[in-house]
Chain A
Amino acid sequence: MITALKLTELSKVFPVGKRMFGPPRALVRAVQPLSLTVEEGETLGIVGESGCGKSTLARMLVGLLPPSTGTIEINGEPLDNADPALFGRKIQYVFQDPISSLNPRKTIRQIMEAPLKHLHDMPAAARADRIREIFAAVNLREEFLDRYPHEFSGGQAQRIGIARALAAEARILVLDEPVSALDVSVQAQVLNLLADLKEQFGLTYLFISHDLAVVEAVSDRVAVLYFGSVVEVGPADEVFAYPKHPYTKLLANSAPVVGRPLTAPEGRETELPDPLNPPQGCAFRARCAYASDQCGSEAPRLEKWSDGVGVACHHPIAYAF
């Protein structure tokens, strides 16, 4: 196994309430120091709810946001300066909202040419050939190339977004909620296309989503994020079938499922922790049925549970086999 992507103690702190002079009023730890590795050819699913830091993490991975601490290594080479052009050849990003990630005043051809021209210095004739190849790979007709973004449906626009990411010839794609803006009937078209492309081009995916069922359907391994930290990581089937962290269990039980009676899986009044005023100890404590005094004083670290499975919890749920 070759490690495609290695994150070491990567974190991001945002200052809030900047002042002209002096320190900012407060600091928000969007991503707590986290370490992860992704093997080549693997799909790592990253699951979490809004505000858990998954988009901040994604933006750091592609160099759109400089990390506060930590390093990113791609294929063993460190990338420490946040320069999207440098990152662009190695790791690419597929945006959540397919329409707004395409400049409304450019044709699809102009959009597709940009990475070829600026990242690879390709001459015009070679660019045209390459675009034709990529469009064939994502099942888009070539006549679309001379149209403008607003003429496309969400599913088509998302395929154009994927085509642009492929054009950069990066081997790692960060997919940030790539199907959450799409209807279910179209969602599956895009997910299946992604699976085909992965096989065809030997890609590595980081698949970020709030939808557990989607993540399960596409991922080899899953990392669950809560309040900026990884609370559980492991093989997808194991994490979802036997969630060890109470939060993972809550997530899995919250998704509405045909045939399951409606019950609120937790107290109805609970709220997410306030990032400006983070709780002491475990961030999930207030919502957790297993919370003890230890959880209030000491934040749990991500610890190895079994081979390839890690949990950040003082009281992980045990299953009898």
Chain B
Amino acid sequence: MKNFLMLLARNRLALGGLVVMGLVVLLALVTPLLPLADPDVTDTANRFKRPFSEGALLGTDHLGRDLLSRLLWGTRLSLAVGFAAAIIAATLGAAIGIIAGYYGGRTDNIIMRGVDMLMAFPYILLALAIVAALGPGLMNALIAVAAVNIPFFARNIRGITVGIAHKEFVDAARLSGMTDARIILTEVLPNVIPVIVIAMSTTIGWMILETAGLSFLGLGSQPPQADLGSMLGEARSALITNPHTSIVPGAMILIIVMAINLLGDGVRDALDPRLKSGALSRPMPATMVQRAGPVPTSEGDTLLALRGLKTQFHVEDRVYKAVGGVDLQVNPGECLGVIGESGSGKSVTALSIMGLVASPPGVITGGAVHYKGEDLIGAPYEKLRSLRGDRIAYIFQDPLATLHPLYTVGDQLIEAVRAHHLFDRKKARAHAIELLTSVRIPNAEQRVDSYPHEMSGGMRQRVGIAMALANDPEVIIADEPTTALDVTVQAQILSLLDDLRRERGLAIIFITHDFGVVAQLCDRVAVMYAGRIVEEGPTKTILDAPAHPYTARLMACVPELGQGRRELAAIPGLPPVVDRLPEGCAFADRCHKAGDTCRQGNIELVRHGAESLVRCVAPETPPQEAC
């Protein structure tokens, strides 16, 4: 709740709306206590008095009634009717929506077609018809306004409920023996309420307007009772001669509706979980760079080299050190594996290379990425854009999420090519077919016109690879490209990547959590833990004789086929949270060898044997000097 208010207050317009609305509601509440003239007493002798005249602050209307008094009593009534209509519409609409969404099937079909029929009428016609049937009067206007708004709530809430009703926790509740009614009330409803509140906050203003509209037409409040709509209606005939009688209620309607809408938008932004996590703030085209300290200079002629790369996430007052100083390099034709568990910073490392970490909250705070000797961190956006997908390309884990569902794979491949080359469409299309053939998609000529959803997971990932190959890049960064695939398909994709690397001399950075994959594909491997590399070296050396206790124990955890039924090795505890990293070795708390020296200062990544590096004071293997 406090969090919600803070988020709301940060939105200036919403705060303004809240203040204005608070004042209006307060005025409406204290109206009976104020020393006002009776709003309904006519005094035709004093009709159409100007505002600020003696005894009538806002003047009087055509019957000499005090406008200020009528305005406040009218506001009170309009607000009450608007809120009541909103609550009725929200309650009934949400109930209908939840029932339709939860039960689905035929129930859903019947209810929602009924709702569709209601929505097929223009709302004001429908409201007029309801009032005509029930007779004029404020209560009937309220019913009419509530009724015409029920479909809006029902549709909104149904959509959300359908999503929730298929969540696993609802299944779990069923298995716990809960009845449907109880599941709706205790499992579904609490998850829907924020949406109901959002929908209400954005429609109350609208309902006040609709009620005013009906009263304006004489179908709502009946004389002499004042509400904002009827005041406007009665003032209509004197619009030219005595405009103040129209302006006073009109201005109040404007103020109320504006304030409610601003506040409603603020409430929506503060409550919507997607917007809360920063979706409203559009990420910058490249990750923000705030490097403190000296920038490492390029040495040698490595194709791609990361030097002391540090990437952090700044969320409110917390700093998550996702990548805490990573050194890596790849050369043409080489495959470097980066292995680690979730949260070890391997994906953030990969995304930082091309400045693809979302900013905010991501910030690159140190280090350099040298591509052919040129630093990419802090390079102008145009430079990055010309390299992205052209010289350095990515393959992501979930091809369904990275391919656009509404374009054919051919269109997307053509776009990828034309972003960097001046190919005409025909030539680009031919190239797209060639690419699909090169990743061994059968019937490439036909498949080029398929949509992503028409392909299997393995085929989609081939399209993802084809897209990465589109501009014949020098480096491919593959972020868990086979994790979402079945093992038989994974084997196909891995051997495809291996062939491509050999044929084209590609440098691959392969990010994974699977030692088996690393062993089969990678020449060298770097093991990451809590944002840093703990061990690096030739794959064979590391897999045969891991030097870092973490590597050794992680490998022991991997079950291998052919060892029969057994107790599996586990590492006790959990990885540290990267906003509170301990001093010294991050693995010390889970390590069986940890001593006092492990918990002090900074433990460096040091040479261990001929080609390996390890960040440990007590490695598992003795350093082999002559190798």
Chain A residues packing against B (C-beta within 8 Å): 20, 49-50, 59, 62-64, 84-85, 87-89, 92-93, 95-97, 100-106, 111, 114-115, 118-119, 153-155, 161, 164, 168, 183-189, 191-192, 195, 210-214, 216-220, 236-237, 240-241, 250-252, 254-266, 268-272
B561 in complex: contacting residue of A164, A240, A264, A265, CB < 8 Å: A240
Q: How far is the CB of A81 from chain B (nearest CB, A)?
A: 14
Docked-complex contact B494 and A269, CB < 8 angstroms? no
Between-chain CB contacts (< 8 Å), 26 pairs: A59-B171, A64-B174, A64-B175, A84-B175, A88-B177, A93-B172, A101-B169, A104-B169, A161-B172, A164-B172, A185-B341, A185-B557, A188-B559, A188-B570, A212-B561, A214-B559, A216-B563, A217-B564, A240-B561, A240-B562, A250-B488, A251-B487, A254-B490, A262-B521, A263-B495, A272-B456
Docked-complex contact B568 and A241, CB < 8 angstroms? no
User: Contacts A62-B175, A115-B176; is A189 near B572 (CB within 8 Å)?
Assistant: yes
Docked-complex contact B560 and A268, CB < 8 angstroms? no
User: Contacts A49-B486, A62-B175; is A183 near B513 (CB within 8 Å)?
Assistant: yes
> Counting CB contacts under 8 A, is B603 at the interface?
no
Q: How far is the CB of B106 from chain A (nearest CB, A)?
A: 9
User: Contacts A210-B487, A213-B560, A268-B492; is A102 near B176 (CB within 8 Å)?
Assistant: no
Q: How far is the CB of B387 from chain A (nearest CB, A)?
A: 29
Docked-complex contact A269 and B491, CB < 8 angstroms? no
Specify which chain A residues have a CB less than 8 angstroms from the CB of B498 in the assembled complex: 262
Specify which chain B residues have a CB less than 8 angstroms from the CB of A254 in the assembled complex: 487-488, 490-491
Q: Which residue of B lies closest to A241 (CB)?
A: B562
A95 in complex: contacting residue of B171, B179, B487, B543, CB < 8 Å: B171
Q: How far is the CA of A269 from the CA of B517 in the complex (A)?
A: 20
> Counting CB contacts under 8 A, is B2 at the interface?
no
Q: How far is the CA of A96 from the CA of B487 in the complex (A)?
A: 18
Specify which chain A residues have a CB less than 8 angstroms from the CB of B441 in the assembled complex: 269
Docked-complex contact A103 and B191, CB < 8 angstroms? yes
Docked-complex contact B561 and A185, CB < 8 angstroms? no
Q: Which residue of A lies closest to B167 (CB)?
A: A100
Q: How far is the CB of A16 from chain B (nearest CB, A)?
A: 14
Q: How far is the CA of A111 from the CA of B182 in the complex (A)?
A: 13
Specify which chain A residues have a CB less than 8 angstroms from the CB of B559 in the assembled complex: 188, 211, 213-214, 216-217
> Counting CB contacts under 8 A, is B574 at the interface?
yes
Task: Rank and list the top 6 A-B pairs by shortest CB-CB distance, nearest first.
Answer: A256-B516, A118-B177, A188-B570, A114-B176, A119-B177, A262-B520
Q: How far is the CB of B572 from chain A (nearest CB, A)?
A: 7
> Counting CB contacts under 8 A, is B514 at the interface?
yes
Besides the known contacts A88-B176, A119-B177, A185-B554, 17 further A-B residue pairs in the complex with CB atoms under 8 A apart: A85-B177, A95-B172, A101-B171, A118-B178, A183-B342, A213-B560, A214-B559, A254-B487, A254-B490, A255-B487, A256-B487, A258-B516, A265-B488, A269-B440, A269-B441, A269-B442, A272-B456
Specify which chain B residues have a CB less than 8 angstroms from the CB of A88 in the assembled complex: 174-177
Q: How far is the CA of A265 from the CA of B487 in the complex (A)?
A: 11
> Counting CB contacts under 8 A, is B565 at the interface?
yes
B517 in complex: contacting residue of A63, A104, A211, A256, CB < 8 Å: A256
Q: Digit string of B84-124 for contact with A (CB within 8 Å is 1, else 0)?
A: 00000000000000000000000001000000000000000
Q: How far is the CA of A284 from the CA of B568 in the complex (A)?
A: 33
Docked-complex contact B169 and A256, CB < 8 angstroms? no
> Counting CB contacts under 8 A, is B496 at the interface?
yes
Report B469-525 residues with CB < 8 Å from chain A CB. Answer: 486-492, 494-496, 498, 513-517, 519-521
Report B550-602 residues with CB < 8 Å from chain A CB. Answer: 553-555, 557-572, 574
Q: How far is the CA of A50 from the CA of B491 in the complex (A)?
A: 15
A118 in complex: contacting residue of B176, B191, B489, B574, CB < 8 Å: B176
User: Contacts A256-B517, A262-B494; is A216 near B568 (CB within 8 Å)?
Assistant: no
Q: How far is the CA of A270 from the CA of B457 in the complex (A)?
A: 12
Q: Which residue of A lies closest to B491 (CB)?
A: A254
Q: How far is the CB of B450 from chain A (nearest CB, A)?
A: 13
Q: How far is the CA of A158 from the CA of B453 in the complex (A)?
A: 31
> Counting CB contacts under 8 A, is B294 at the interface?
no
Q: How far is the CA of A283 from the CA of B220 in the complex (A)?
A: 69
> Counting CB contacts under 8 A, is B233 at the interface?
no
Specify which chain A residues have a CB less than 8 angstroms from the CB of B494 in the assembled complex: 256, 262, 264
User: Contacts A213-B560, A216-B565; is A84 near B513 (CB within 8 Å)?
Assistant: no
Specify which chain A residues have a CB less than 8 angstroms from the CB of B458 in the assembled complex: 271
Chain B: interface residue total (CB-CB under 8 A): 67
Docked-complex contact A256 and B491, CB < 8 angstroms? yes
A264 in complex: contacting residue of B109, B178, B491, B574, CB < 8 Å: B491
> Counting CB contacts under 8 A, is B267 at the interface?
no
A259 in complex: contacting residue of B172, B513, B519, B565, CB < 8 Å: B519
Q: Digit string of B202-237 for contact with A (CB within 8 Å is 1, else 0)?
A: 000000000000000000000000000000000000
With most chain A CB atoms within 10 A of its CB, the pick from B168, B520, B572, B574 is: B168
B456 in complex: contacting residue of A153, A237, A271, CB < 8 Å: A271
Q: How far is the CA of A216 from the CA of B561 in the complex (A)?
A: 7
Docked-complex contact B574 and A155, CB < 8 angstroms? yes
Docked-complex contact A85 and B565, CB < 8 angstroms? no
Docked-complex contact A257 and B176, CB < 8 angstroms? no
Q: How far is the CA of A252 from the CA of B517 in the complex (A)?
A: 15
Q: How far is the CB of A111 from chain B (nearest CB, A)?
A: 8
Q: How far is the CA of A95 from the CA of B174 in the complex (A)?
A: 13
Q: Which residue of A lies closest to B344 (CB)?
A: A183
A184 in complex: contacting residue of B456, B557, B572, CB < 8 Å: B557
Q: Which residue of A lies closest to B590 (CB)?
A: A185
Q: How far is the CA of A118 from the CA of B173 in the complex (A)?
A: 10
Q: How far is the CA of A286 from the CA of B175 in the complex (A)?
A: 40
> Counting CB contacts under 8 A, is B300 at the interface?
no
B554 in complex: contacting residue of A155, A184, A213, A256, CB < 8 Å: A184
Specify which chain B residues have a CB less than 8 angstroms from the CB of A257 in the assembled complex: 516, 519-520, 560-561
Specify which chain B residues have a CB less than 8 angstroms from the CB of A210 in the assembled complex: 486-487
> Counting CB contacts under 8 A, is B622 at the interface?
no
Q: How far is the CA of A267 from the CA of B190 in the complex (A)?
A: 51
